[in-house]
Amino acid sequence: MALVDLLYRCPRCGHDPLPGKGGRALCPACGAAYSVARGGGIRISGENIGREKRSVREVAGSLTLPGQGSSAADAPQPRLHGTPVRSEGSSVPLARTPEATDGPVGKAAPSGGESPGVIRETRARVKIASRETDIRFQGRILGFMEVFGKTREGRLRLESEALVFRPDGGSEEDRWPLYRILSVQASSSSVQITTREAGLVSIKVPDESIHLWELLIHRALQATWHARGWGRIVEFQPRIRAE
Amino acid sequence: MHPLYRILTPPSRGFVRASARIHVDGVDHMPRTGGFLLLPNHQSILDPFLVQSFCPRPIRSMTKSTQFAVPVVRWILPRIGAFPVRRYRVDPQAVRTALRFLGDGEGVCVYPEGERTWDGSIQPFRRGTLHLALRAGVPVIPVGLNGMFDLWPRWLKIPKPRPKVTLRFGEPLEFGEIRDRDRRMEMLPEVEALLARRLASLSGAPVSDELKRRVELATDNTA
CATH number of residue A104's parent domain: 2.30.29.30
Q: How many residue contacts between A and B have a Cβ separation below 8 Å?
A: 123
How close is the nearest chain A Cα to the Cα of B94, in Å? Answer: 6
pLDDT value at A89 more than 50: no
The total of structural domains in chain A comes to 2
Q: Are residues A25 and A102 in the same domain?
A: no
Query: Does residue A73 sit within a domain?
Result: no
Cα torsion B115, B116, B117, B123: sign: positive
What pLDDT is stored for residue B216 in this prediction? Answer: 92
Q: Considering only CB atoms, which chain A residues are within 8 Å of B149?
A: 40, 56
Mean pLDDT of A22-32: 94
Which residue in A132, A142, A235 has the most chain B C-beta atoms within 10 A of its own C-beta, making it the best mutation to test that interface?
A142
pLDDT-derived band at A78, boundaries 50, 70, 90? very low
Q: Are residues A22 and A131 in the same domain?
A: no
Mean pLDDT of B102-128: 96
A40: alpha, beta or left? (left if phi > 0; alpha if psi -120 to 50): left
Q: Considering only CB atoms, which chain B residues are within 8 Å of A143?
A: 65, 83-86, 91, 93-94, 97
Q: Are residues A47 and A91 in the same domain?
A: no
Query: Does residue A55 sit within a domain?
Result: yes
pLDDT in tens, A93-116: 323 333 334 445 566 655 545 556
CA pair distance A103, A106, nearest whole angstrom? 10
pLDDT in tens, A148-164: 999 999 999 999 999 99
What is chain B's mean pLDDT, rounded? 95
Which of B44, B40, B43 has the alpha carbon at shortest distance from B62?
B40
Domain, as residue range, for A42: 3-61
* B3: phi then psi, degrees, rounded to nearest 5: -55, -30
Residue of A nearest to B95 (CA): A143
pTM higher than 0.90, yes or no?
A: no
Cα B112-B117-B123 angle, rounded to 5 deg: 50
Q: Are residues A95 and A57 in the same domain?
A: no
Q: Are residues A134 and A207 in the same domain?
A: yes
Q: Are residues A166 and A233 in the same domain?
A: yes
Domain boundary among A45, A61, A77: A61
Q: Considering only CB atoms, which chain B residues are within 8 Å of A239?
A: 89-90
What pLDDT is stored for residue A28 in this prediction? Answer: 95
Q: Map out the domains of chain B as residue ranges.
A: 3-222
Q: Considering only CB atoms, which chain A residues are within 8 Å of B163?
A: 39-40
Q: Which residues of A touch B (CB under 8 A)?
A: 1-3, 5-6, 22-23, 36, 38-40, 55-57, 60-61, 132, 135, 137, 141-146, 148, 182-183, 185-188, 192, 194, 200, 211, 234-235, 237-239, 241
How close is the nearest chain B Cα to the Cα of A40, in Å? Answer: 5
Question: Does A135 contact B91 at a Cβ distance shorter than 8 Å?
Answer: no
Question: Does A237 contact B86 at a Cβ distance shorter than 8 Å?
Answer: no
Residues 6+ apart with CB under 8 A from B209: none
CA pair distance A117, B209, nearest whole angstrom? 30
CATH of region B3-222: 3.40.1130.10
Mean pLDDT of A166-185: 93
Query: Does residue A70 sit within a domain?
Result: no
Query: Does residue A67 sit within a domain?
Result: no
ipTM > 0.85? yes
pLDDT value at A170 more than 90: no
Query: Does residue A92 sit within a domain?
Result: yes
pLDDT value at A213 more than 70: yes
